[in-house]
Structure 1
Amino acid sequence: MTDTQTLIENRPASVATLFLERVEKTPDIEAYRYPVAPASGGPEEWRSFTWAQAAQHVFAIAAGLMDLGVRPEERVAIASNTRVEWIISDLAVLCAGAATTTIYPSTNADESAFILGDSDSKVLIAEDASQLAKARERRAHLPHLAHVVVIKASDAQDLDGDGWVLSLEELEKRGQAYLEKHPECINETVAGIAPPQLATLIYTSGTTGRPKGVRLPHDAWAYMAKAIASTGLIGAEDVQYLWLPLAHVFGKVLTAGQIEVGHVVAVDGRVDKIIENLPVVKPTYMAAVPRIFEKVYNGVAAKAREGGPAKYKIFQWAAEVAREYGRVSQENRRASGNPSVPFGLAAKHAVADKLVYVKLREAFGGRLRACVSGSAALAPEIGYFFSGAGIHILEGYGLTESSAASFVNPGEAYRTGTVGKPLPGTEVRIAEDGEILLRGPGIMQGYHGLPDKTAEVLEPDGWFHTGDIGELSDDGFLKITDRKKDLIKTSGGKYIAPAEVEGQFKAVCPFISNVMVIGANRNFCTALFALDEPTIMGWAKENGLAGVSYAEVVASPQVNDLMGGYVARVNEGLQKWQTIKKYRVLPRDLDIEHGDLTPSLKLKRPVVEREFKDLIDDMYAGTREA
């Protein structure tokens, strides 16, 4: 048995156990950084918790929950943006032996009430007045919800005067008093946690119907913590910038790995602060979704364009050099183990590095060793660009049902366009129809209260049907080709992976925010384009459309012709049946607020098709359908 197998197979029962071990091992080492707005105004400052300081809050909140009557496996919901209190509260729930129900803060009152009711959550930890209001609005229909604990103390208004609402600070004080009476309650509770006990209920954001609660036991997170550490991708000296939604499994799994490794996490979930925070935090490691890298790339391209034709030409040249350098160095490493490139390419790369890449790395804080990308496919051309620029994006793969991290690229030997190799302890199999099947300790117990739905995807011997189509290389690298249900079959019988075509548009067109290819049961493919407002408005100023509104710009003949040029360019590299015959530019961007994207920024295809049905019908008007 290898050291890695021993490490994983001898894992403790829960992350709560790992947390206690971490606190005992490195009590005075920095654990978390978080931003605080100074009372007198001015710039934000970043403060820290050591592991011991974090533990004081965790244990007090855990004891406070016990004092409120929360018992092992009972649910405590968290509805909050990503912030240090989210992590502290989640650890407290685990140390109380209970289970966390995650709720996106953007979830509306109706769906929030459904999740609270379906999970039988006994307590809700709400970020602020807006999250409290959703629960209060549906209180009469939530008899199991005994208390709402509000993180922002000034918003914890107990309007009914019955103790239903209290602040997180008040809960901690109750917990401290409880600990004085029961000093061993935390250690005893954590010691009593069994691996199969429910630890987390994460509700998947489905495109239709109610979300399903994915049941993840304590053992899944303990396994993830050990498996992530065993990859060697992160070390104790790393500084991770965590902005991903913690209600999503991708963000949640990062907290498990951090506890095992013991590195610093800088926590701030405000997406609009990412660019501002990076030079301050100076992370060595960061996880993100492809949309963030696409926005960075488009932003850099737009800034170069604003600098005039000469500067933009230099950027375009440097971008092509980066892609070639990234592709060639990866191919050479794969063939011989040596990532060196031909002299001519190396010389061009050195010049481009001084002119372009060094500034890009500085924008990420100057210390970034690697990024992990997940949740959706990263366009290979975007990946190769960053690879050549010295920002290494390690694509990974997993689902809510597999505790997020099932595959990840192996450090320096990463391959753009693949999601890497399975984590130690995870098995993979490709079914006859190309579907990826997974088995291992990270796989869910099932969907909460939905045995029939569970049986549809989880076989009795533990194999989980992911719904994704993929290919395995001879040496174990997995490539995702598409979602099984998203594959398009034209009326001519040809199968098309829309994500593959969409990725090519994102790689060549810096104006695109989102793109959706259509063609199922149609006799040709079409596309809907949503354009990035800042980028296209910058282009509009330079092309005779200054002072014109965004809606007017995207509806203009000039923008239609602009996008037509990119369609022609992409079509040159596609098979005939994949080519885009017609397209429309949408009057607005796609976003979470309109329901077009999931909170993890995945496209909700059925929603977009319904919303823009008239535009789609217009593209196919007069054509014969299958």
Structure 2
Amino acid sequence: MGNSSSPYSSLPDMFLSRVSESGGREAYRFPVPDPSGGPEIWKSLTWSQTRDRVRDIALGLHSLGLTSQARCAILSGTRVEWILADLAVLCAGGASTTVYPTSPAPDCAYIISDSGSMIAFAEDDEQVAKLREQRSQMPGLSKVVAFEGESGGDDEWVMSLAELEEAGALLSREEPDLFDTLVSSVRPDHLATLIYTSGTTGRPKGVRLDHSNWLYEAHALKDLNAELRGQGWDLIGENDLQYLWLPLAHAFGKVMEVSQLCIGFTTAVDGRVDRIVDNLAVVRPTFMAAAPRIFEKVYNRVVMQAREGGPAKYRIFRWAAGIADKVARVKEEGREPTGMLAAQERLAHKLVFAKLQDRFGEQLRFFVSGSAPLAPDIGRFFYGAGITILEGYGLTETSAGAFLTRPGDVRFGYVGLPLPGTEVRIAEDGEVMLRGAGVMRGYHNLSGATEAVLTEEGWFATGDIGVLENGRLRITDRKKELIKTSGGKYVAPQALEIRFKALCPYVSNMIVHGDSRPYCVALIALDQEAITSWAAEKGLADLDYPALTKDPRVRTLVQEAVDALNRDLPRHETIKRFEVLPNELSVEEGEITPSLKMRRRAIESKYRQKLDGMYGDSVHRP
């Protein structure tokens, strides 16, 4: 294993090196409205055109007073302007503070103020309005730059991206060498990014990641490429096409952004989650990274469509899904299906899986799943259907990527081997400890918090419980989330919740509860799209979502899946009772983080009455 050291002194240095190597090649493509009112069209930027726009934005920021390592916030969904703004902040010598566009106004103000951001990019009028509302809470914020919208008005505080670029272009003509001078003064140990972890408990913590952290990530993937090519596998090369929709406010999205600078592939950028499945067929990418929720939704949609096709079609689908599982298990052992199974696989492909592959575009080689655990059953379904999902693992504090399954060594339930240059050990209490150039330098403005998770020898305590088997890591649960029943038995709730989602396509979340209680119970949130489509099929279209959550037929549907889950569990892990929640979990209500992780404590305190009720004698057993 190499240590993935970088020949570059900073991300801007790597970016300009990519421009000089790939100047005329396509760097980004992105959707824009068709001026004639037709369907939207995809436009492209070459690497050289990207450099010109980044230079103008960077010099515009310089003219606004952005100095070395000064913070600049980006409050926007994933779009090409996000990337241009981020690269420009870095080229001007500054550091980006990432803010989710779904964050409520007070949270945006807290992050911008705590980070000391002096300039903020905002996506549109809606995001600008949030900042206006909280202006008094952010005295250090001197200027807001809007990607689009009416936001200019009479207010000097807000300017458009076009105005900023014009100011930069003017400065570039006056001082042609200024851009290169700014880039050459950025060093590896300079702060590059402040990402606030949407903590499942308490205030978010700002994670300080410098240029060398991101250079490590980019080179670790490049080194891994070289390692895999030697074994006959191709991971990512410069001729690949990435479809990037991941939130760039999240470290996982940032890794996909910076690795492109190192490897040189093309990226199609569109952060609209509701367009992912449609866009895949239009963009026809060779790879895409996603959170497990996306695969769950696609899987649920496939199941729903098979059901809607009638009993015969659904029987064929169930048979094909069974074949996919068998095929995946054979492949996980490093073999290929033969004989009868190979013949069944060909038939299942013809009847079911070919359509699924078409939906993703025929060029797709693999998906990468990260940011939360993927249900092994769902991973096997896709793998057996000819769609490979590689699973990655890491935290914001490790610049996201620390582990990745290799294409020739897919094992569901594992997150693979460490990236080149990352070390791992398991502490006595089972906690996963990581060390390497991807590990953060510390938390921002939080004395004591860094020392609590980072040892003097550089080992970072992840908060995850895991085991190493033949070098492969398997995460079993979050340390803080392990349940200990009043009978002294330990339960890992996450493992049950993941398994349940594969058993019940109508569910978006399950929260297992039982700490210091006599047995485990669960709160269950339905997937609105899936359950309303089931209702229509059953002739219950007149029932709205809240009514469906109370309907006894829906309860029976969920009960069957709970029974199926319980069948394979030791007694102390079984779910004795459950309640269906009246609504899906939401970011706005503080029940899930912007990166779609459950805030377990917040959910438990909100539904305390329901939970207590499931332990009361007055409640009849379901």
Q: What is the deviation of 1:542?
A: 3.5
1:448 counterpart residue number:
444
Within 5 Å, give how 1:188-267 maps onto structure 2.
Answer: 188-232=181-225, 233-267=235-269
Unaligned 5+ segments in structure 1 are 334-338
- TM normalised by structure 1 equals 0.95
1:350 counterpart residue number:
346
2:581 counterpart residue number:
586
Larger deviation, residues 11-20 vs 295-304: 11-20
- Deviations for 1:373-419, whole angstroms, at most 9, x for unmatched residues? 00101010011111101110000000000000000111222211111
- Deviations for 1:21-67, whole angstroms, at most 9, x for unmatched residues? 00000100000010001123221100100000111100100111111
1:309 counterpart residue number:
311
Q: Does 1:183 align with 2:179?
A: no
Within 5 Å, give how 1:327-342 maps onto structure 2.
Answer: 327-331=329-333, 333=334, 339-342=335-338
Q: What is the rounded CA distance, in whole Å, between the counterparts of 2:37 and 2:602 in structure 1?
A: 42
Q: What is the deviation of 1:158?
A: 4.2
Q: What is the rounded CA distance, in whole Å, between the counterparts of 1:192 and 1:433 in structure 2?
A: 44
Q: What is the rounded CA distance, in whole Å, between the counterparts of 2:121 and 2:588 in structure 1?
A: 23
Q: What is the rounded CA distance, in whole Å, between the counterparts of 1:483 and 1:155 in structure 2?
A: 45
Q: Does 1:531 align with 2:526?
A: yes
Match of 1:555 among 537, 540, 550: 550
Among the aligned pairs, what percent are the same residue?
52
Q: What is the deviation of 1:150?
A: 0.7
Q: Contact 1:370/1:392 (CA < 8 Å) preserved in 2? A: yes
Q: What is the rounded CA distance, in whole Å, between the counterparts of 2:544 and 2:78 in structure 1?
A: 33
Within 5 Å, give how 1:116-195 maps onto structure 2.
Answer: 116-152=112-148, 154-160=149-155, 163-195=156-188
- Deviations for 1:117-166, whole angstroms, at most 9, x for unmatched residues? 111111001111111122222223322111111111x4232433xx3211
Q: Does 1:95 align with 2:91?
A: yes
Q: Contact 2:289/2:367 (CA < 8 Å) preserved in 1? A: yes
Q: Does 1:607 align with 2:613?
A: no
1:482 counterpart residue number:
477
1:81 counterpart residue number:
77
Match of 2:536 among 524, 534, 541: 541
* SS of corresponding position for 2:521: strand
Within 5 Å, give how 1:40-119 maps onto structure 2.
Answer: 40-119=36-115
- Deviations for 1:405-459, whole angstroms, at most 9, x for unmatched residues? 0001112222111111111111111100010011111111111010211111111
Distance verdict in 2 for CA 1:138–1:311, change over 3 Å:
same
Match of 1:275 among 274, 277, 281: 277
* SS of corresponding position for 1:106: coil
Q: Contact 2:200/2:598 (CA < 8 Å) preserved in 1? A: no
Q: What is the rounded CA distance, in whole Å, between the counterparts of 1:273 and 1:383 in structure 2?
A: 22
Larger deviation, residues 594-603 vs 136-145: 136-145
1:569 counterpart residue number:
564
Q: RMSD of aligned C-alpha atoms?
A: 1.4
Q: Does 1:381 align with 2:377?
A: yes
Q: What is the deviation of 1:544?
A: 4.5
Q: What is the rounded CA distance, in whole Å, between the counterparts of 2:346 and 2:318 in structure 1?
A: 16
2:300 counterpart residue number:
298
Give the count of matched residue pairs. Answer: 610
Q: Contact 2:6/2:215 (CA < 8 Å) preserved in 1? A: no
Q: What is the deviation of 1:552?
A: 1.3
Larger deviation, residues 72-81 vs 360-369: 360-369
Distance verdict in 2 for CA 1:616–1:277, change over 3 Å:
same
Q: Contact 1:214/1:400 (CA < 8 Å) preserved in 2? A: yes
* SS of corresponding position for 2:486: coil
Q: What is the rounded CA distance, in whole Å, between the counterparts of 2:329 and 2:523 in structure 1?
A: 30
Q: What is the rounded CA distance, in whole Å, between the counterparts of 2:356 and 2:310 in structure 1?
A: 18
Q: What is the deviation of 1:527?
A: 1.2
Q: What is the rounded CA distance, in whole Å, between the counterparts of 1:536 and 1:117 in structure 2?
A: 42
Q: What is the rounded CA distance, in whole Å, between the counterparts of 1:589 and 1:609 in structure 2?
A: 15
2:291 counterpart residue number:
289
1:336 counterpart residue number:
none
Match of 2:453 among 443, 453, 457: 457
Q: Does 1:498 align with 2:493?
A: yes
* SS of corresponding position for 2:271: coil
Q: What is the rounded CA distance, in whole Å, between the counterparts of 2:387 and 2:297 in structure 1?
A: 15
Amino acid of the structure 1 residue aligned with 2:203:
R
Q: What is the rounded CA distance, in whole Å, between the counterparts of 1:538 and 1:22 in structure 2?
A: 48
Q: Contact 2:200/2:597 (CA < 8 Å) preserved in 1? A: no
